[in-house]
Amino acid sequence: YLHIGRGLYYGSYLYKETWNIGVILLLLVMMTAFVGYVLPWGQMSFWGATVITNLLSAVPYVGNTLVQWIWGGFSVDNATLTRFFAFHFLFPFVIAGATMLHLLFLHQTGSNNPLGLNSDVDKISFHPYFSYKDLLGFAIVLIGLTSLALFSPNLLGDPDNFTPANPLVTPPHIKPEWYFLFAYAILRSIP
Protein backbone atom coordinates (compact mmCIF):
# COMPACT_ATOMS: atom_id res chain seq x y z
CA TYR A 1 0.00 0.00 0.00
CA LEU A 2 2.92 2.32 0.66
CA HIS A 3 4.21 1.73 -2.86
CA ILE A 4 0.83 2.68 -4.35
CA GLY A 5 0.59 5.72 -2.08
CA ARG A 6 4.03 6.82 -3.23
CA GLY A 7 2.98 6.32 -6.85
CA LEU A 8 -0.11 8.47 -6.34
CA TYR A 9 1.89 11.20 -4.60
CA TYR A 10 4.59 11.40 -7.26
CA GLY A 11 2.26 11.05 -10.25
CA SER A 12 3.41 7.63 -11.40
CA TYR A 13 -0.11 6.95 -12.67
CA LEU A 14 0.73 9.10 -15.69
CA TYR A 15 2.76 6.18 -17.06
CA LYS A 16 -0.32 4.15 -17.87
CA GLU A 17 1.25 0.81 -18.82
CA THR A 18 3.41 0.65 -15.72
CA TRP A 19 0.56 1.81 -13.48
CA ASN A 20 -2.00 -0.61 -14.95
CA ILE A 21 0.33 -3.59 -14.56
CA GLY A 22 0.95 -2.45 -10.98
CA VAL A 23 -2.79 -2.40 -10.28
CA ILE A 24 -3.11 -5.87 -11.82
CA LEU A 25 -0.25 -7.00 -9.56
CA LEU A 26 -2.11 -5.65 -6.52
CA LEU A 27 -5.26 -7.55 -7.50
CA LEU A 28 -3.29 -10.75 -8.13
CA VAL A 29 -1.58 -10.52 -4.75
CA MET A 30 -4.96 -9.92 -3.08
CA MET A 31 -6.47 -12.93 -4.87
CA THR A 32 -3.52 -15.08 -3.80
CA ALA A 33 -3.96 -13.93 -0.20
CA PHE A 34 -7.69 -14.64 -0.33
CA VAL A 35 -7.44 -18.16 -1.74
CA GLY A 36 -4.64 -18.87 0.75
CA TYR A 37 -6.84 -17.62 3.59
CA VAL A 38 -9.47 -20.21 2.69
CA LEU A 39 -7.04 -23.16 2.77
CA PRO A 40 -7.05 -23.80 6.58
CA TRP A 41 -10.78 -24.57 6.17
CA GLY A 42 -11.72 -23.04 9.48
CA GLN A 43 -14.94 -21.28 10.37
CA MET A 44 -13.78 -17.79 9.34
CA SER A 45 -12.16 -18.95 6.11
CA PHE A 46 -15.26 -20.96 5.13
CA TRP A 47 -17.58 -18.02 5.63
CA GLY A 48 -15.11 -15.62 4.06
CA ALA A 49 -15.08 -17.81 0.95
CA THR A 50 -18.88 -17.97 0.96
CA VAL A 51 -19.37 -14.21 1.28
CA ILE A 52 -16.66 -13.07 -1.15
CA THR A 53 -17.45 -15.61 -3.87
CA ASN A 54 -21.15 -14.76 -3.60
CA LEU A 55 -20.24 -11.17 -4.51
CA LEU A 56 -19.45 -12.44 -8.01
CA SER A 57 -23.10 -13.40 -8.45
CA ALA A 58 -23.78 -9.68 -8.97
CA VAL A 59 -22.02 -9.83 -12.37
CA PRO A 60 -24.80 -9.55 -14.97
CA TYR A 61 -25.77 -12.65 -16.99
CA VAL A 62 -22.82 -14.86 -15.97
CA GLY A 63 -22.59 -14.20 -12.22
CA ASN A 64 -24.32 -17.34 -10.94
CA THR A 65 -22.52 -19.55 -13.46
CA LEU A 66 -19.20 -17.98 -12.47
CA VAL A 67 -19.87 -18.59 -8.77
CA GLN A 68 -20.83 -22.22 -9.40
CA TRP A 69 -17.68 -22.70 -11.49
CA ILE A 70 -15.49 -21.31 -8.71
CA TRP A 71 -17.29 -23.41 -6.10
CA GLY A 72 -17.21 -26.56 -8.21
CA GLY A 73 -20.83 -27.17 -7.26
CA PHE A 74 -23.75 -25.39 -5.65
CA SER A 75 -22.05 -24.40 -2.40
CA VAL A 76 -18.61 -23.93 -0.89
CA ASP A 77 -17.36 -27.48 -0.39
CA ASN A 78 -14.34 -29.75 -0.88
CA ALA A 79 -14.22 -28.99 -4.61
CA THR A 80 -13.86 -25.29 -3.74
CA LEU A 81 -10.97 -26.09 -1.44
CA THR A 82 -9.23 -28.10 -4.17
CA ARG A 83 -9.68 -25.29 -6.70
CA PHE A 84 -8.43 -22.66 -4.27
CA PHE A 85 -5.38 -24.79 -3.53
CA ALA A 86 -4.63 -24.97 -7.26
CA PHE A 87 -5.15 -21.21 -7.64
CA HIS A 88 -2.92 -20.54 -4.63
CA PHE A 89 -0.18 -22.59 -6.29
CA LEU A 90 -0.55 -21.03 -9.76
CA PHE A 91 -1.02 -17.34 -8.89
CA PRO A 92 2.60 -16.77 -7.76
CA PHE A 93 3.81 -17.77 -11.23
CA VAL A 94 1.37 -15.30 -12.79
CA ILE A 95 2.56 -12.67 -10.29
CA ALA A 96 6.19 -13.33 -11.25
CA GLY A 97 5.34 -12.84 -14.94
CA ALA A 98 3.38 -9.66 -14.22
CA THR A 99 6.27 -8.37 -12.09
CA MET A 100 8.69 -8.88 -14.97
CA LEU A 101 6.27 -7.03 -17.26
CA HIS A 102 5.96 -4.24 -14.68
CA LEU A 103 9.75 -3.91 -14.47
CA LEU A 104 10.03 -3.96 -18.27
CA PHE A 105 7.59 -1.06 -18.58
CA LEU A 106 9.31 0.73 -15.70
CA HIS A 107 12.66 0.32 -17.46
CA GLN A 108 11.21 1.82 -20.65
CA THR A 109 9.54 4.83 -19.02
CA GLY A 110 11.94 5.37 -16.12
CA SER A 111 10.85 5.91 -12.55
CA ASN A 112 9.80 9.28 -11.19
CA ASN A 113 12.39 11.44 -9.49
CA PRO A 114 10.68 12.85 -6.38
CA LEU A 115 12.93 15.90 -6.33
CA GLY A 116 12.27 16.78 -9.96
CA LEU A 117 15.98 17.46 -10.49
CA ASN A 118 18.36 16.20 -13.13
CA SER A 119 20.01 13.18 -11.59
CA ASP A 120 22.37 12.41 -14.48
CA VAL A 121 25.21 14.32 -12.82
CA ASP A 122 26.22 12.00 -10.01
CA LYS A 123 25.15 8.53 -11.08
CA ILE A 124 26.74 5.41 -9.65
CA SER A 125 26.44 1.91 -11.00
CA PHE A 126 23.73 -0.34 -9.61
CA HIS A 127 26.10 -3.23 -9.05
CA PRO A 128 27.81 -3.70 -6.60
CA TYR A 129 26.55 -0.81 -4.45
CA PHE A 130 22.81 -1.38 -4.51
CA SER A 131 22.99 -5.11 -5.24
CA TYR A 132 24.64 -5.80 -1.89
CA LYS A 133 22.17 -3.57 -0.04
CA ASP A 134 19.25 -5.35 -1.73
CA LEU A 135 20.78 -8.74 -0.94
CA LEU A 136 21.13 -7.78 2.73
CA GLY A 137 17.51 -6.57 2.88
CA PHE A 138 16.30 -9.74 1.18
CA ALA A 139 18.26 -11.89 3.66
CA ILE A 140 16.82 -10.02 6.65
CA VAL A 141 13.24 -10.39 5.37
CA LEU A 142 13.80 -14.06 4.52
CA ILE A 143 15.22 -14.82 7.98
CA GLY A 144 12.33 -12.98 9.64
CA LEU A 145 9.63 -14.77 7.63
CA THR A 146 11.30 -18.16 8.05
CA SER A 147 11.56 -17.62 11.82
CA LEU A 148 7.90 -16.63 11.98
CA ALA A 149 6.81 -19.65 9.93
CA LEU A 150 8.93 -22.15 11.87
CA PHE A 151 8.69 -20.94 15.46
CA SER A 152 5.24 -19.37 15.70
CA PRO A 153 3.11 -20.19 12.66
CA ASN A 154 -0.21 -19.40 14.35
CA LEU A 155 0.80 -15.99 15.73
CA LEU A 156 -1.08 -13.95 13.14
CA GLY A 157 -4.04 -16.33 12.73
CA ASP A 158 -7.61 -15.45 13.65
CA PRO A 159 -8.70 -17.46 16.73
CA ASP A 160 -12.10 -18.18 15.14
CA ASN A 161 -10.36 -19.83 12.22
CA PHE A 162 -9.16 -22.66 14.47
CA THR A 163 -12.77 -23.86 14.75
CA PRO A 164 -13.48 -26.41 11.99
CA ALA A 165 -15.71 -25.15 9.17
CA ASN A 166 -19.41 -25.65 9.83
CA PRO A 167 -21.92 -24.36 7.26
CA LEU A 168 -24.73 -24.48 9.87
CA VAL A 169 -23.12 -22.03 12.32
CA THR A 170 -22.29 -18.49 11.25
CA PRO A 171 -19.63 -16.70 13.35
CA PRO A 172 -21.08 -13.69 15.20
CA HIS A 173 -18.44 -11.20 14.01
CA ILE A 174 -17.11 -11.82 10.53
CA LYS A 175 -14.35 -9.38 9.68
CA PRO A 176 -11.67 -9.52 6.99
CA GLU A 177 -7.94 -9.60 7.50
CA TRP A 178 -6.15 -6.24 7.71
CA TYR A 179 -5.09 -6.24 4.04
CA PHE A 180 -8.74 -6.40 2.94
CA LEU A 181 -10.08 -3.70 5.28
CA PHE A 182 -10.14 -1.00 2.59
CA ALA A 183 -12.27 -3.22 0.32
CA TYR A 184 -14.49 -4.12 3.28
CA ALA A 185 -15.06 -0.41 4.00
CA ILE A 186 -16.05 0.17 0.38
CA LEU A 187 -18.37 -2.84 0.47
CA ARG A 188 -20.05 -1.68 3.69
CA SER A 189 -20.65 1.81 2.28
CA ILE A 190 -22.75 0.40 -0.58
CA PRO A 191 -26.36 -0.10 0.54
Q: 160 an active-site residue?
A: no
Q: 102 an active-site residue?
A: no
Count of other CB atoms within 10 angstroms of residue 144 = 10
Q: 16 an active-site residue?
A: no
* Residue 22 to residue 16: CA distance in whole angstroms: 10
Q: 77 an active-site residue?
A: no
Single out the catalytic residue among 3, 16, 133, 175: 133
* Residue 51 to residue 135: CA distance in whole angstroms: 41
Single out the catalytic residue among 107, 147, 152, 175: 107
The residue type of 97 is: G
Single out the catalytic residue among 111, 131, 147, 152: 111
Single out the catalytic residue among 134, 147, 152, 175: 134
Single out the catalytic residue among 17, 77, 160, 177: 177
> Residue 13, exposed/middle/buried by CB under 10 A (0-12, 13-18, 19+)?
middle
Asked if omega into 128 is within 30° of 0 (cis), the reply is yes
Q: 175 an active-site residue?
A: no
Residues noted as catalytic:
107, 111, 133-134, 177
